[in-house]
């Protein structure tokens, strides 16, 4: 089993990086292998022709694709898909090869624990339309925050990897040179996860860059967009 991590696909806009021509290694993978997308998957949007075509495309790929929710998702539609048991927690099953992590889920891949806490606040919310291309569910509910806390408690605040869409406050301050505003979610990721959880590496998307981030706290953080990292 191998696990790979990459950044936002934004539906077909940024899909090239995981097509066979750009990622030939993927042709040799199997259903025991997993690709994790750090939010803004974008292929569960309106159940239109594009959604259905691309979902079938993923179904034809030899590996399994998972994603945490980003801000640019149709969250109510994702919630309509069935919750199933998935690698030690629950996930929304889009089809046999696509699964959406629940907020605060802990997933076991080949003995490695992945804590997932997606979603983010849109920077461009001012130009989007509620219920058409923006949904308030882009920010976690109180229930989702609590589920994340309960999950961490059950795992003694330890995991191997953290998967998120946005970054904790301290990391965001570095990559944005202080220009990004803190919010309830980034504060949660900072206070509850970054400062309290023992982990090996944190991968996140959202900011459309590929870089390692050093915040001098002894932890490893990587912002992913176009790169694909093999982590297991």
Mean pLDDT of all residues in 131-147: 96
- pTM (predicted TM-score): 0.97
Pairing of strands 3-6, 161-164: unpaired
Q: Look at residue 145 and give its three-state secondary structure.
A: helix
Give Cα separations from 225 to 10, 174, 208, 217, 228 (angstroms): 11, 17, 5, 23, 8
Q: Residue 222 above 90 pLDDT?
A: yes
Tokens of 227: 């790169």
- The tally of domains found in the chain comes to 1
pLDDT above 70 as % of the chain = 100
Residue 123: its pLDDT value, please?
Answer: 87
C-alpha triplet 150, 34, 226: angle, nearest 5°: 100
Give me the half-sphere count of Cα atoms (radius 13 Å) on the Cβ side of residue 85. Answer: 1
d(CA 177, CA 171): 10
- Contact call for residues 62 and 29 (beta carbons, < 8 A): yes
Mean pLDDT of all residues in 30-50: 97
- Contact call for residues 163 and 68 (beta carbons, < 8 A): yes
Mean pLDDT of all residues in 146-163: 98
- Domain span holding position 31: 3-230
Tokens of 64: 């399994």
Pairing of strands 3-6, 34-37: parallel
Q: Residue 64 above 90 pLDDT?
A: yes
Tell me, what CATH number does 149's domain have? 3.60.21
Residue 125: its pLDDT value, please?
Answer: 85
Mean pLDDT of the chain: 97
Q: Residue 53 above 90 pLDDT?
A: yes
Instruction: Label residue 178 by pLDDT band (50, 70, 90).
Output: confident
């Amino acid at each position: 089993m191998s696990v790979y991590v990459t950044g936002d696909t934004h539906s077909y806009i940024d899909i090239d990086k995981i097509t066979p021509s750009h990622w030939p290694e993927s042709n040799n993978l199997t259903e025991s292998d997993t690709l994790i997308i750090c939010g803004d998957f974008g292929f569960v949007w309106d159940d239109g022709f594009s959604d259905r075509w691309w979902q079938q495309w993923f179904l034809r790929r030899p590996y399994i694709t998972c994603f945490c929710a980003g801000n640019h998702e149709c969250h109510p539609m994702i919630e309509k898909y069935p919750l199933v048991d998935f690698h030690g927690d629950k996930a929304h099953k889009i089809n046999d090869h696509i699964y959406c992590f629940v907020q605060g889920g802990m997933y076991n891949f080949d003995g490695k624990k992945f804590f997932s806490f997606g979603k983010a606040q849109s920077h461009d919310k001012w130009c989007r339309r509620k219920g058409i291309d923006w949904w308030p569910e882009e920010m976690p509910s109180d229930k989702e925050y609590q589920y994340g806390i309960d999950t961490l408690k059950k795992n003694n605040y330890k995991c191997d990897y953290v998967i998120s869409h946005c970054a904790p406050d301290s990391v965001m301050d570095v990559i944005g040179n202080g220009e990004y505003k803190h919010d309830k979610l980034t504060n949660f990721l900072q206070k509850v996860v970054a400062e309290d959880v023992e982990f090996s590496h944190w991968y996140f998307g959202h900011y459309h860059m590929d870089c390692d981030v050093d915040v001098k706290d002894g932890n490893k953080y990587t912002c992913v967009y176009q790169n694909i990292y093999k982590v297991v």
